[in-house]
Amino acid sequence: MPTLKELQNRVGVLQRHAQRLGFDHVGVAKAERMDEEAKRLEWWLNQNHHGKMSYMGNHFEKRIDPTKLVPGAKTVVTLTYNYFTEKKQKDEAAPKISKYAYGKDYHFIIKNKLKELLFSLQEEIGEINGRCFVDSAPVLERDWAKRSGVGWVGKNTMLIHPKKGSYFFLAELIIDLEMATDNPIKDYCGTCTKCIDACPTNAISPNGYYMDGSKCISYFTIELKENIPKEFKGQFENWMFGCDICQEVCPWNRFSQEHQEPEFNPHPKLLEMTKKDWQEITEDVFQEIFRKSAVKRTKFTGLKRNIQFLEKP
């Protein structure tokens, strides 16, 4: 049975290597079944707030119990990786893309860093079994981040850090190594309702903390493969891939700082393209600009659909 000092020393090793690899914050939680979160997820699914994202209803037990994903798991490590940038598309009339998709696909960039982190831990501490996750498996990442004190889940359902805002990716290591755990931090949203008031499709519930995913602009422009419902015409505020509105209005994002990850820098043409360029985009240009981008998820036909939906009838 490891002593408290040994458990704390393991966290020190984790933090040192995580910082070396560019991660901003690290939080540690005990790997256990999430009973309260399971109730909330079940309610959310029963309300059909996942829309056509049927995968959200799959693997329910794995989603709420990390030991079902990684047998023998003792610890869930949550890490954050900044993607904020002050860079903007030059033509203010051009259809907009979420900041997280400006550069290369974060799944691959961060997954490789997680693998290196796990390898470094194994080298320094000894045999550790575990898996790396970056938004691509049934893991309730925001709930784990909240449990481990990396931030609080705001009214816009984003994870918010009091010194860094919310423009960061979440990643997890689920491992069979016991570590000293962290505690949740306070919710600092207070009486603020800026995100609720600003959401043009009313996707955020009136009291906050619940998102109707089937009304979110990001859902329509990325996840939905069918035609976008006509009743939402004119409500997208020019977003063609994703949406940053609830982050742009969040007061805590005044603390966001420019990321230091070269792989997240946009293709030189991306910020230069005018509204007309986007309206006339060809598949060749799409493939060139978004060659290794998360925008590939929506495919050329999906992006064209989104752009056309933004046009006035």
- Report the relative pairing of strands 96-97 and 239-241 from DSSP bridges: parallel
Q: What is the pLDDT of residue 293?
A: 95
Q: How many CA atoms lie within 13 A of 75 on its CB side?
A: 23
The SS3 assignment for 310 reads helix
CB contact set of 75 (below 8 Å; sequence gap of 6+): 28, 29, 30, 31, 173, 174, 175, 176, 177, 178, 179, 181
State the pLDDT at residue 137.
79
Tokens of 62: 């794995």
**What tens-digit pLDDT sequence spans the chain (313 residues)?**
889 999 999 999 999 999 999 999 999 999 999 999 888 888 888 877 777 766 677 778 888 899 999 999 999 999 999 999 999 999 999 999 999 999 999 999 999 999 999 999 999 999 999 999 998 778 999 999 999 999 999 999 999 999 999 999 999 999 999 999 999 999 999 999 999 999 999 999 999 999 999 999 999 999 999 999 999 999 999 999 999 999 999 999 999 999 999 999 999 899 999 999 999 999 999 999 999 999 999 999 999 999 999 997 6
HEC assignment per residue over 125-188: HCCCCEEEECCCCCCCHHHHHHHCCCCEECCCCCEEECCCECCEEEEEEEECCCCCCCCCCCCC
What's the predicted TM-score (pTM) here? 0.94
From 260, 263, 221, select the one nearest 242 (Cα to Cα).
221
Active site (annotated) includes residue 135: yes
Collapsing DSSP to helix, strand or coil, 52 comes out as: coil
- Given 65, 91, 105, 135, the catalytic residue: 135
In whole angstroms, what is the distance from residue 280 CA to residue 307 CA? Answer: 10
What integer pLDDT is reported at residue 66 of this predicted model?
A: 94
pLDDT of residue 303: 97
What is the pLDDT at residue 245? 98
Q: Which helix (H) or strand (E) holds 29?
A: strand 25-30
Find tokens 């994703």 and name the residue. Answer: 242
